[in-house]
Amino acid sequence: MHSHIISGIDDGARTIDDSIALARRFKALGYRKLIATPHIMADYFRNTPDTIRRGLDKLREGLLQNQVDLEVEAAAEYYMDETFEKKVREKSVLTFGDNYLLFELSFINYPSNINDMIKLIQDNGYKPVLAHPERYPYFHGTVDNYSRIKDQDCYLQTNAIALTGYYGPGPKALSEEMIENNLVDFVGSDMHHLRHADALVESLHTSSLQKLLSEPLKNSLL
């Protein structure tokens, strides 16, 4: 439910050949379906539902031509910037599953309006999913920061590769702690390139991810 496999529209796959290479890595791991979630950011990746759907069509055609049997749908990873609220209010957002809406925060500045935004998402009929909370340094220090977000009925999605130390020891420790405290609702690959694919393979052997995969299917590894 979190990958950047659609080519040429964000910082993920650059070409359709890159997309096919990533798809083959997913298939080798036993994946059957992906949700592609290109970035939507006002200042960097000005994607729209239309550009994403066209990218999805191109990806599906490439998979078919290369005989890669992998189902792919598309949503988006929304950056909580000044344009996000308008998109939510106008209901011009792409969701996955049962109206789940994936969004991310600044890696630098704490968003003082996060509680209001979560409520706005819910008031408009969506289920908020916070992408990779372990990567936001201002949440580090105590797992209670994540509990407070969960208490608002906001879902938390950790990146599998965080468990390998890919982003450093801080995110690794926080991801492990969230899992230990049963705070993780979704596990995503956040796949951008083949280095992520290598780290994903490594993550499958971590005790924390094995713990999640052995629990009842309330989690999603996509």
d(CA 180, CA 221): 17
Please check whether residue 35 is in contact with residue 56, taking contact to mean a CB–CB distance below 8 angstroms.
no
CB 129 within 8 A of CB 103: yes
* Strand 155-159 relative to strand 127-131, pairing: parallel
Q: What is the pLDDT of residue 219?
A: 45
Q: Which pTM does this prediction carry? A: 0.93
Query: Cα torsion for 198, 195, 22, 58, to the nearest 10°?
Result: 160
Please, are residues 192 and 4 in contact by the beta-carbon 8 Å criterion? yes
Q: What is the pLDDT of residue 218?
A: 52
pLDDT tens, N- to C-terminus, the chain (222 residues): 999 999 999 999 999 999 999 999 999 999 999 999 999 998 889 999 999 999 999 999 999 999 999 999 999 999 999 999 999 999 999 999 999 999 999 999 999 999 999 999 999 999 999 999 999 999 887 888 899 999 999 999 999 999 999 999 999 999 999 999 999 999 999 999 999 999 999 999 999 999 888 876 554 544
**Residue 216: predicted pLDDT:** 62
For the chain, which residues make up each domain, given as ranges?
16-213
CATH topology of domain 16-213: TIM Barrel (3.20.20)
